[in-house]
């Protein structure tokens, strides 16, 4: 691999926690379940061999380090875990090939100060709306890498948006069993959707502050809990135009999906990263700015290929097999600047 080439992975770890340590509702992995999980995680990391991996649902940094050892990556890559992370909550994390990380990673909890979701409506029939959210459900990991001294710095964001599972509302002060119980699913789904939408908007604002009016490469990795045509992805990507002449397109503030570019190279869409009630969906994504888009006049890296490791989703018992419940993505890019892009 040429030094200027780079690859990215997205990996939801499905609660990677040490054996015997508590997770949600006091659940724990047994020693056998933990060993299977670490072996599987390490085997996947070895198989995809990505320069940069974004993780979701990490509990214990020590468990990730053990998986890295299984993969033989303890000397080639560095784990990015929040300093002093206690292992009592899940977090986004990262894995970066040695020699390309620049600066210190940060975990962003608060929405940007300019984030405001309030409106009196834009026609007389609309009531006022206001959303008071100010933080991400899972702090967003942000770091920078430089594949080669001659390449620009790449900003990488790793995110995990609110799930589509209905928020549990029965604990709320306003909850009345007789009144609200018949509507809990609808209300819960609505609250989850609002939270996920707000998180996508807040991350989009962080990205815009970096990319607007600049030539700064950005890659976003994450379990976004929504499909590529969802409002969540529309907000995050700003819905760029794909079908343009070679090296004639690109959008200053746009993000492109690896899923779409892979579909252009395939005879049919076989991409899915999650199965629920036998429905196969794509909830995990790798997005990138115009510097990685084939048809952009600002292109520096050309899309090579995306792979999806998802055969394990056919297994029903992830605890016994050590597998996770999401597909694992890998996207490679070749250093191939468009004519004039480096001027």
- Which residue ranges form the domains of the chain, and what is each CATH number? 6-335 (3.60.10.10)
The answer on pLDDT for 297 being more than 60 is yes
CA distances from 154 to 83, 106, 224 (A): 22, 15, 21
Q: What is the pLDDT of residue 1?
A: 45
The answer on pLDDT for 247 being more than 60 is no
Spatial CB neighbours of 125, under 8 Å, sequence gap ≥ 6: none
Q: What is the pLDDT of residue 270?
A: 62
How far apart CA 164 and CA 286 sit, in angstroms, is 19
Give the chain's mean pLDDT.
Answer: 92
Q: What is the pLDDT of residue 195?
A: 96
Q: What is the pLDDT of residue 85?
A: 94
20-29, 90-99, 263-272: segment of lowest average pLDDT = 263-272
Of the pLDDT bands very low, low, confident and very high (cuts 50, 70, 90), residue 91 is: very high
Over residues 68-76, mean pLDDT: 97
Of the pLDDT bands very low, low, confident and very high (cuts 50, 70, 90), residue 131 is: very high
């Amino acid at each position: 691999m040429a030094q200027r080439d780079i690859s990215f992975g997205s990996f939801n770890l499905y609660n990677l926690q040490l054996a015997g340590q508590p997770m949600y509702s006091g659940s724990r992995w047994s020693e056998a379940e933990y060993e299977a999980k670490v072996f599987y995680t390490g085997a996947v990391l070895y198989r995809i061999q990505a320069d940069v991996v974004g993780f979701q649902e990490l509990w214990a940094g020590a468990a990730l380090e053990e998986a890295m050892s299984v993969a033989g990556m303890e000397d080639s890559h560095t784990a990015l875990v929040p300093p002093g992370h206690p292992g009592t909550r899940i977090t986004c994390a990262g894995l970066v090939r040695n020699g390309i990380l620049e600066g210190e990673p940060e975990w962003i909890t608060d929405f940007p100060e300019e984030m405001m979701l309030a409106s009196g409506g834009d026609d007389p029939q609309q009531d006022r709306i206001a959303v008071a959210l100010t933080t991400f459900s899972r702090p967003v990991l942000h770091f920078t890498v430089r594949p080669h001294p001659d390449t620009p710095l790449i900003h990488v964001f790793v995110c995990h948006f609110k799930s589509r599972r209905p928020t549990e509302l029965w604990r709320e002060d306003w909850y009345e069993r007789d009144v609200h119980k018949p509507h809990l699913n609808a209300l819960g789904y609505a609250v989850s959707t609002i939270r996920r939408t707000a998180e996508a908007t807040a991350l989009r604002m962080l990205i815009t502050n970096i990319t607007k009016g600049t030539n700064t490469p950005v890659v976003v990795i994450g379990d976004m809990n929504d499909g590529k045509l969802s409002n969540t992805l529309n907000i995050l990507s700003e819905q760029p135009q794909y079908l343009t002449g070679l090296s004639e397109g690109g959008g200053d503030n746009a993000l492109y999906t690896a899923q779409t570019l892979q579909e252009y190279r395939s005879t049919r869409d076989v991409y899915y990263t999650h199965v629920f009630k036998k429905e196969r969906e794509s909830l995990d994504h790798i997005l990138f700015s115009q510097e990685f888009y084939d048809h952009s006049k600002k292109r520096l890296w050309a899309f090579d290929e995306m792979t999806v490791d998802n055969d394990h989703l056919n297994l029903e018992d992830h605890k016994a097999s050590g597998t996770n419940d999401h597909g694992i993505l890998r996207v490679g890019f070749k250093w191939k600047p468009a004519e004039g892009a480096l001027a």
